[in-house]
Chain A
Amino acid sequence: MVSNAVSTQSLSKRYGRVLALDGLDLSVPRGEVFGFLGPNGAGKSTTIRLLLGLARPTSGRASVFGDDARDVALTHRRLAYVPADVALWSQLTGAEILELLARTGPGTDRPYRDELVRRFELDLSKPGRAYSTGNRQKVALVAAFATRAPLLVLDEPTSGLDPLMERAFRHAVHEARDHGQTVFLSSHQLAEVEAVCDRVAILRAGRLVDVAAVTELRRLHRTEVTVSFAGTPPDLSRVPAAEAVEVTGPASLRFTLTGPPGPALEALAAADVTSLAVREPSLEEIFLGYYGGTPQ
């Protein structure tokens, strides 16, 4: 049996009176780009700390490629990590930090590292204290991607990056996927998760709310259809899939559609439609739906 890249069984973590993580069951197959979503304090970083063996589970088990996450000498040979808040030694320059991480880490593809340094436009001669938040993140990203490790654990890796650097980041994630690597990406950036992830887990208050493929998640939700027409208004009352029909003008209306669109399209065909707009809900709207917020 080929073990999953990441798996947790009833993983729980308690900090004093706070139950940070409550019986998490998760599995990420090899080669997948897996998004890990949730509001602040949901337990995302706690999960990652347990996966990396930096904290000990109160109960349950976390494993990486089938090995217990606590055996870091073994599991860390097959993973690389980018923390949410990268802190560097203030005296070491970027080049020295990359050298330290390359020589103590799971191995490094040096030509690829040089390529990444170029793409992320990273100045390696500066000492750690002189780097901005984004540049510290870039140092950690370059070090992690350059390992070509089978598993990349990325904890909100782009929170300090500008849009151009975010594109470089997505490109590197795609390369990792093409390379057969697994990516475990914790993020607040829904557009980023939507752009790079295959599947998404949503965590709330230490519990898993849902795990779904990005496409599947969207399909769970209604499509919004806006129609303008020249002829008589279409009769949608006998189309069960069309709901919340709203007349927005003398020759336009809006409704939401669930399930196959065939019957609704038949009803529209008679109305001499002049324009039709179909809008997929963004992951953000789905995400906010889970937490009871309203999309902007």
Chain B
Amino acid sequence: MTPASARVGPVPYDQAPWRAVTALAWRQVRRGALVVTALTAAMSATAVAAHRSAVQDLEDAAALEALAGNPAIRTLFGEPVSLDDPGGFAVWRTGTALAVVLSVWGLLAATRIIRGEEDAGRWEVLLAGRVPVTTVVARHVTVLVAAQVLAGAAAFAGLAAMGAAAAGAAVHGAGLALCGIFFTAVGALTAQVFATRSAATGAAVAAFGASMLAKMVADGLPALGWLHWLSPFGLTALSRPYGGASLWPLLLLAAAGLAVAVTAAAASGRRDIRGGYLSPPSGRAPRLRLLGSVQAFAVRRTLRPLAAWSAGIGAYYLLIGVLTLSMTAFLTDNPRFAELAAQAGFAGLGTVHGYTATLFALLAVPAGAFAAVRLAALAADEADRRLTLLFAQPVTRTRVLVAETAAVCGGLVVLVTVAGLATWVGTEAVGADLGLLAALHGAWNVLPIALLCLGAGALALGWAPRAVAFIGSLPAAGGFLLKVIADSAGLPAWVALLSPFAHLAAVPDAPAHGQASLLMTAGAVLAATAGLVGYRLRDLHL
């Protein structure tokens, strides 16, 4: 008998078990982490580079500061601090956008790798091992926190490399990372509270939306400036990296993030695996509406997410509408600013119609994301074999895809109409002169870009089903970033023209580009048709 076989019981593996858990978490987020880090570095660096040309366009830095004092601009980009400094300009121009990217990525990744994996049943084997659930959750959160620190460091490197002052860059990088860490922790906590990934993600996104709204209100309405202290985005803004940096808001944010993360890890140990603190009821009476056909079922699956997206987008655009009051008042007092705004490239921002047109263009990003996410959900239904029973019915793949795209199309129309209505209600409430039709036209104007996202998502579903969310978001989110980067970095004009946003008219301030809209819609139909061909030809991943 050899000594090895004489040993009774399992042979311990030399490596510490939590290292394997850390490696598992990192494998699941590394691609997204690297993309987010690269984006953060690139946007920070290009914004510093853009500072010179932006200042040259205006008579002097003071005029730039005055322009940025416009409540509309503040709502969009936050409160400007030290715009005469390249670092201050970069922070103002990219800070909010990057904080949003890091926060959204952090909370989505947290609910995906924590609740999503547990909900899919993949944690049971993991938790049967030596590592307790609190450690598993803590390790996952730690990996995500490390990814956020990496992204914050990338912001610092991007700013410093282009010659911005290092101290301010460090404060800015820390602020971005802490904002991301806070929402990562929020995602980890909602992943403990709710038993399904969708509910956990929804709750985390709601917290994110509320924080963003609080910050925007605080930026737009000086009387409510104290709201900054209640929002991670507000705290990040209060740190003022290039305006006499203040570390207290960041320390508060760090403490809040740490508290939420520790609560999440501790909470995981006091519940059942696959359960949450708020579990859905175990039984209910059947609701048989919208189960009669593939089309009806596609509508049924779209309704709940549509309601959530509509609530979020509606609230945002209601605020946009309400904020037109402070802008109108500002312009009455300072008539010269409309002219200055036009010079800086924000043409027409000085009027109600111009202001809403600029913000309606932004609507294409969430609307396109909605389309991409819905088709990604169809791909997930296929990968998780929920579609198996449906595909065993006398139902062609063409019918399934057409039903889904039709339902999403309908959802898009509802979504942008809600945004238009909410803006109109907001402007009516404060007595701004927008008009219902103008509001609706402005909102509907972004539909072709959202349809491009739907077409791109369908194309991906047919040929690259694992990349539906990414490819589907490209026309809107990617196009928006491309235009911002091309404009601010002074890239050749044709680069910006690749973005659909270059062809979007500023409706309701200007008439719609009928031809461009038609071309985009035709492109969407072509992409969707090519996707359908691939969907019919390929094996289903059931």
A interface residues, Cβ below 8 angstroms from B: 49, 52, 54-56, 72-77, 79-81, 83, 85-91, 93, 95-97, 99-101, 103-106, 123-127, 129-130, 140, 143, 153
* B306 CB to nearest chain A CB (Å): 14
Q: Are A104 and B284 within 8 A (Cβ)? A: no
Contacts of A104 in B (CB 8 A): 293-294, 297, 390, 393-395
Interface string of B499-542 (1 = CB under 8 A from A): 00000000000000000000000000000000000000111101
Instruction: State which residues 300-333 of B face A: CB under 8 Å.
Output: 301, 304
**Cβ-Cβ contact count across A and B, 8 Å cutoff:** 109
Q: How far is the CA of A106 from the CA of B395 in the complex (A)?
A: 10
The residue from B283, B285, B384 contacting A87, defined by CB atoms under 8 A apart: B384
* A152 CB to nearest chain B CB (Å): 11
Contacts of B288 in A (CB 8 A): 95-96, 99
Q: Chain A: which residue is nearest B290 at the CB level?
A: A100
The B interface is mostly helix, strand or loop, or mixed, namely loop
Q: Are B388 and A74 within 8 A (Cβ)? A: no
Contacts of A72 in B (CB 8 A): 391, 394-397
In the complex, besides A55-B540, A90-B196, A95-B286, 11 extra interface pairs with C-beta distance below 8 angstroms are: A73-B396, A75-B394, A81-B389, A89-B386, A100-B297, A101-B389, A104-B297, A106-B394, A125-B283, A127-B283, A129-B195
The residue from A80, A96, A103, A143 contacting B286, defined by CB atoms under 8 A apart: A96
Q: Are A125 and B284 within 8 A (Cβ)? A: yes
Q: How far is the CA of A107 from the CA of B122 in the complex (A)?
A: 36
Q: Chain B: which residue is nearest A89 at the CB level?
A: B386
Q: Chain A: which residue is nearest B282 at the CB level?
A: A130
Chain B interface bracket (under 10, 10 to 19, 20 to 34, 35 or more): 35 or more
Q: Chain A: which residue is nearest B396 at the CB level?
A: A73
B interface residues, Cβ below 8 angstroms from A: 119, 195-196, 280, 282-288, 291-294, 297, 301, 304, 381, 384-386, 388-397, 537-540, 542
Contacts of B540 in A (CB 8 A): 49, 54-55
Q: Chain B: which residue is nearest A102 at the CB level?
A: B291
Q: Are A103 and B542 within 8 A (Cβ)? A: no
The residue from B384, B394, B538, B539 contacting A77, defined by CB atoms under 8 A apart: B394
Q: Are A105 and B385 within 8 A (Cβ)? A: no
Q: How far is the CA of A77 from the CA of B285 in the complex (A)?
A: 30
Given contacts A54-B540, A123-B283, contact A87 B393 (CB under 8 A): no
Listed A/B pairs (14) with beta-carbon separation below 8 Å: A54-B388, A54-B540, A83-B542, A86-B389, A88-B389, A93-B283, A93-B286, A96-B288, A99-B291, A103-B292, A103-B293, A125-B284, A126-B282, A127-B283
Contacts of B384 in A (CB 8 A): 87
Given contacts A72-B394, A96-B291, A103-B292, contact A85 B385 (CB under 8 A): yes
The A interface is mostly helix, strand or loop, or mixed, namely mixed
Q: Are A54 and B391 within 8 A (Cβ)? A: yes
Given contacts A80-B392, A96-B291, contact A56 B286 (CB under 8 A): no
* B293 CB to nearest chain A CB (Å): 6
Contacts of A143 in B (CB 8 A): 389
Q: How far is the CA of A225 from the CA of B232 in the complex (A)?
A: 83
* B346 CB to nearest chain A CB (Å): 44
* B270 CB to nearest chain A CB (Å): 21
Contacts of A75 in B (CB 8 A): 394
Contacts of B292 in A (CB 8 A): 103
The residue from B396, B397, B539 contacting A55, defined by CB atoms under 8 A apart: B539
The residue from B285, B297, B391, B396 contacting A125, defined by CB atoms under 8 A apart: B285
Q: How far is the CA of A127 from the CA of B386 in the complex (A)?
A: 14
Q: Are A100 and B386 within 8 A (Cβ)? A: no
Contacts of B119 in A (CB 8 A): 129
* B387 CB to nearest chain A CB (Å): 9
* A98 CB to nearest chain B CB (Å): 9
Contacts of A125 in B (CB 8 A): 283-286
* B198 CB to nearest chain A CB (Å): 8
Q: Are A93 and B284 within 8 A (Cβ)? A: yes
Q: Chain A: which residue is nearest B297 at the CB level?
A: A100
9 shortest interchain CB distances as A-B pairs: A81-B392, A95-B286, A125-B283, A76-B394, A55-B539, A87-B385, A77-B394, A100-B291, A54-B540
Q: How far is the CA of A123 from the CA of B283 in the complex (A)?
A: 9
Contacts of B286 in A (CB 8 A): 93, 95-96, 99, 124-125
Contacts of A88 in B (CB 8 A): 386, 389
